[in-house]
Structure 1
Amino acid sequence: MSGSSEDGSAPEPYDATPYLPSRGGLPAHQRAAADCQGCPLHRDATRTVFGRGGSDARLMLVGEQPGDQEDREGVPFVGPAGRLLSRALREAGIDEDGLYVTNAVKHFKFTRDETRKRRIHKTPSLRETVACRPWLMAELRLVSPELVVVLGATAGRALLGPSFRVGADRGVPRPLPGAEDGPRVLATVHPSAVLRARDRDAAYAGLVADLRTAAEAL
């Protein structure tokens, strides 16, 4: 993206920070996030999709962004990838009721397929991910989990930096950079990557194995 707008003025800032409340817990942050205009993604999305779960969760899952169904319902991980994730969590011995689940980016980014009349997921840019990071960091502070599982590259880069690669960094708990007393972070693939995989059984088995490692780390 260029460093200035077409008329030569300064580019529109991408930053959710001005929309965060100065006080309050998860409910106050969820209400404030509904009005977030920290990047242009809010213009086309139906709504902000904030995290779900209690502030006492020991384990937090962080995905990429809402999908089409999540955008319509306002809840993360309720579409096909969410159903696959729920099954993998059960097989890994993790109680989904005790989790906090969220996304690195809170609005659905998509392109329109006019032929098939549907909205197709589009990966958020680094700039959009960084703009939304204040919400994610607020959730981390308010929940204070022992372990964070990042699902896929966008979530991994949001917390572990732009050099993160799923294939190289998955399956091993590590400290959260810049947070001496913060949670450990374990990376794995996003459930949607399992759905797209050529060998879906192998990809699913890898996801379950990483989630079992997360359960053991707790």
Structure 2
Amino acid sequence: MSVDHETSATALIELQRELSGCTRCAEAGFIREARPVFRGRAGHRRMIVGQAPGARGHRNGVPWSGTSGDVLRAWFARSGYPPEEFLESWYFTSLTKCFPGKVAGSKGDRAPSAAERKLCAPWLTGELALVRPELIVTLGRLAAEALVPGARRLGLGELVGTVWSVDVSWGEIPVVPLPHPSGVSRWLNDPVNRALVDGGLDKLGALRESKGL
């Protein structure tokens, strides 16, 4: 292990320790209970950035452990990533680290507000700087907007299906936007959008083969 990697690993462990105890959004009244969900270590070459943890992840502390995670594993299997290696081969994080709760009168999860995302942003900034991923997959529009420059001016249909090259402090890395794999997402009901997902997964698989990612 190089000195730089060892230093990053130690710093990430400390950041994760502090993150595990974060209660900012609960104290601000945005959520009922602070229970940050994330997973990974320094040295992970691939990172998944979602919007926020789901209800099951909130209960068991495991990211993407609900039905959306089942869909995500199936998607990634199509790109050549074995489902049984899913949890160990990616760094998992999100814009906000705690379950935001359900939308009133709906089965869907509430999207974290801009204020919540701002409170949580330093954690993601720290994770990115210490993990230094070589590939990022974003899930959902909000995650893409946070990591792809200019994404706020584009619709999800203009983002999905394309590999975006993003300049970061450790180089230029590919970012692959995908929709959130939620069963309540109407976006995925459109065959045109499903074709965009297929294209994105094909390109993700090509990155895995060509660059070992």
Q: Normalized against structure 2, the TM-score is what?
A: 0.75
Match for 1:31: what amino acid? R
Specify the SS of the correspondent of 1:44: coil
Query: Residue 62 of structure 2 corresponds to which residue in structure 1?
Result: 75
1:148 counterpart residue number: 136
Q: How many residues align?
A: 193
Instruction: Measure, in 1, the Cα distance between the counterparts of 2:188 and 2:153.
Output: 26
Q: Could you report, residue by residue, the CA deviation over 1:62-101 in whole angstroms, capped at 9, with x for unpaired residues? A: 1110111111111211111011101111121024232212
The answer to which of 79-88 and 126-135 deviates more is 126-135
Report the Cα distance in structure 2 between the residues aligned to 1:189 and 1:111, rounded to whole angstroms: 19
Q: Aligned in 2, Cα 1:76/1:152: closer, same or farther, shift over 3 Å? A: same
- Cα deviations by residue, 1:101-125 (Å, 9 ceiling, x for unpaired): 2211101112476x9xx98511111
1:59–1:145: 8 Å Cα contact kept in structure 2? yes
Alignment of 1:54-203 (within 5 A): 54-95=41-82, 96=86, 97-111=88-102, 120-160=108-148, 162-176=152-166, 179=169, 181-192=171-182, 196=186, 199=189
CA root-mean-square deviation: 3.0
**Larger helix share, 1 or 2:** 2
User: Does the Cα contact within 8 Å between 2:22 and 2:34 map onto a contact in 1?
Assistant: no
Give the TM-score taking structure 1 as reference length.
Answer: 0.74
Aligned to 2:5: none
Deviation of the 1:200 alpha carbon? 7.7
The change in CA–CA distance for 1:29 and 1:133 in structure 2 (over 3 A counts) is same
| Alignment-mate amino acid for residue 181 of structure 1 | G
Structure 1: 5+ residue stretches without partners: 1-22
The answer for unaligned runs of 5 or more in structure 2 is: 1-8
Secondary structure of the structure 2 residue equivalent to 1:192:
coil
